[in-house]
Structure 1
């Protein structure tokens, strides 16, 4: 049927058939994705690590460079090292914000370093303030001990590990200096106080002694010794003494003592016979006057008495004493009376020795009637001593009263000054002490005149006026304080009940009242005494009116808080057992419930803090368990990451020279292990997938290159055997050729049979047209171009193949050879023409690039 068709129609039909049956044009080939770079080798990794370490060393001390390095570094360890090296708070705060949303380890390190830096700065600033305060305290005239103790307490409250050693050493040195300075000033002040007391005692002693010497009661050496002691005291005047009046008074007293001693020596010498009265009178006249009028008067009286005695030497002898009537003869003495009199004598002696004159007078009066003649001399001596001490007492009492009046008038004068600053309490104590001393003088004996008492009393009343004014102000302040307290109580009593305002308002009202109440000070010192008890009773009632129901509500609230703590404890136990589900939302709900409880009924601060601490410990345990779970998951992810990185390194270790079998084996194992490996940190997924794909593509490329090399080696072996066959046919058999033949690797069986037959001396022979036909079919099989002269034959072969396919449904027409068979025939043929040989070489060249 086909043979009867016209040629043009046949061509048209064949073209249509070729268009219909040809393979669809291949899809456009996408450009091959360049293979990802292979994973770096250990040497490269070590070099990179060394490079980052060098960059880190160069950036030390520069927070900006360290922060940039932390951002750019690929590894977590380098990031951590850079963050750990940061020093400034600004850089640490920026690092904490930078890594907050990703790498948790670096963020935690930055946060801890920032907290440590803030704590260090705060501690050192506080230390500097304390050091400045100590410096200022060192310059003060008086160093209060409480301020020094407060400084030391505040310093020890700081964390010593956060302080600069220079700060610690400076504060220790300042503390030692302040302590030594305070001790030195205290000792100096104590020395001044002791010297002042001794000086006042010496001044009083000098005044008493020179008056006694002037009256002839004491000897001049006693006054001289007292004067020398006063001089030694002045020589030992301590540094810093400011009582100039006392120093001047003691110096003037020493001069007065010298004046009294000089005149007393003259007066004492008058007791001896005087040969030259004019010389004595001249020496008396030339002596300086005595500054103390009483001593001068006593000395003048004694001088005048001597002078009058000298002026009237012929004085009549005193008349003989009148004879007293003889006493009746005493009756016999009872031994008991003698013993009683002896006891009274001993008691009188003891009373006189202790200066108890009133008691001694009672004993002596009783002895007048019962003393025996043998006891009379002792009794008379005791009466004489009593008289002498009584005189001294009266003289001393007069002096003491004069001193009291002087002190009272000086106190009144000082109090009446316009710019006087009077301490009311100290003034009242001073006035009370003066009055007690006056009463004590009255008790000891020695009456005083009414004018002196009136002067004393008037001076004290004048001095008491500032005290009375201050007391009036205090009374007015106490009344005002009472009124303010009553106003606070009225506000508290008017507070609405809790069911109208809520417990929080009750607590606020009570706290406001107590704060305002405390500002008014202690009740016992700030309100009138008469109103104190009623005010306290009202205060207790008003506070109890709110506190009683509040305490009941707080007890109920505490039970509610305890229940919440138990629920939190149960959640913590549930989380610890690993059976907990959705623990965090439940903990959040529990915390919100706690806050609602706290808003409804606020507890006392101590109770609230204690309960909250327990509740927070339980909830923190749940969060700690979650953190531990996250840490465990992170550890697992990091372990999986290490496994995947190891697989990538294993793929990266494959090279172009790795055998194909090993390439296939390693790739298969790595693929299986990769897909069975667990999850990795989210931020590492992209990097690992990219690195794995790059390593896998590189391995595939190595595998393809290996197949190509194997095929090329096979083709080269075929060509080498073919060349050996040609040399043997040309040169004859030779042992070297046999060895070379045996050394060549094996080739495909079809080609090996053809080459072996030719090697054994049985080459195939065929017509040149047949060989050309074989070459054409092989070229068609390789889809390589044929010479121009054979294009028609090539088309004819195609037509015949198509016709055979249409008529017999066979795959190829008769006499068709395939690639392997056609190449085998060409290899076995021994006589190729030059043109055929060129076509054969072209076929071999194309065959090397077409792996089977």
Structure 2
């Protein structure tokens, strides 16, 4: 073997390594080229080995030397260079298959196809180089088409991402300026932030502009919320002080026996409590418990006193019913003077008994009034029939009127309004009898 001879191991390899670089081609994709024939099936169709071992490949421009074969038979050398072509062909077909399935990276395919195309003009291979070149052009066209689609899809995704972030910013700005649903809005702003982090594909400048708006809106909401709760804390402090005052007054009223006015004041305190507003929760609960305890203690005392009073009034009603039974037995027709004296004594005892339950007052007083009318009617009838000792009767009636008027005046001076009213009522009755007696004397 001479120093210029080469072996299969030292001849240049057409496969080589690939380096990824960017490149695009604006021309439209050509019609798909037919599959490239397998060169190793009929290597003599695509090349030859001459007598001195030089290997040639046939091209459209004529034959081109691709190497030298000195290791054996010329047919073996031709087959060796045909297998190299087949390896290159397989690489191209793999690119075609990946692009067609959509699994391949168009950018990587474009770089690889360019590399193959650059190597074809000097490739040490034997095969259908023209068909392989067309196949490579097909790959280049498909790769550029894929890159364009990817670019379009990327731009569409970017537009969609920008639009979504724009929507989120506008929502955040609306919430920051208008919402008073503090907890709900705070939760929503956190959700917006979480979604914001998942959105990709926005260019840095646009993303920073939108982020500044979102951050500004969030800060504005936080300031409004902080101001609101600061005002609320101040209001609750005022409410706490006011409720403390109401509690202290309620506790002072617990021992009051002035049942009516005090009960009314407790009602007023309740109205003022509600209008005072809410204090801090823990303090509000404690103050409310004290307020209710004082209120309940007072009304429990009042209920106990009313129960005792009602029991006493019930007994008084029974005593007055017994007096009415006595009064109903009075017979003014048999002895008018004795009937008047008996009625007078019953009236004094009636007044001394005191009050009865409110619902019984009209009933019992009405029955007594009926008996009094019966006696007075008998007196009137007696006067109409005869008038013995009329002057003495007038004097007696006048004395009775004066006596009851004196009792009324004495009761008023002592501050006993109830007894004063009772004495005035009796004086009025005797005054009516006096008027009737005086009229009888006058017409005698």
**Shorter chain as normaliser: what TM range?**
0.3 to 0.5
Provide TM-score, normalisation by structure 1.
Answer: 0.21
The structure whose Rg is larger is 1
Provide TM-score, normalisation by structure 2.
Answer: 0.36
Q: With a CA cutoff of 8 Å and minimum separation of 6, indicate the structure with the bigger relative contact order.
A: 2
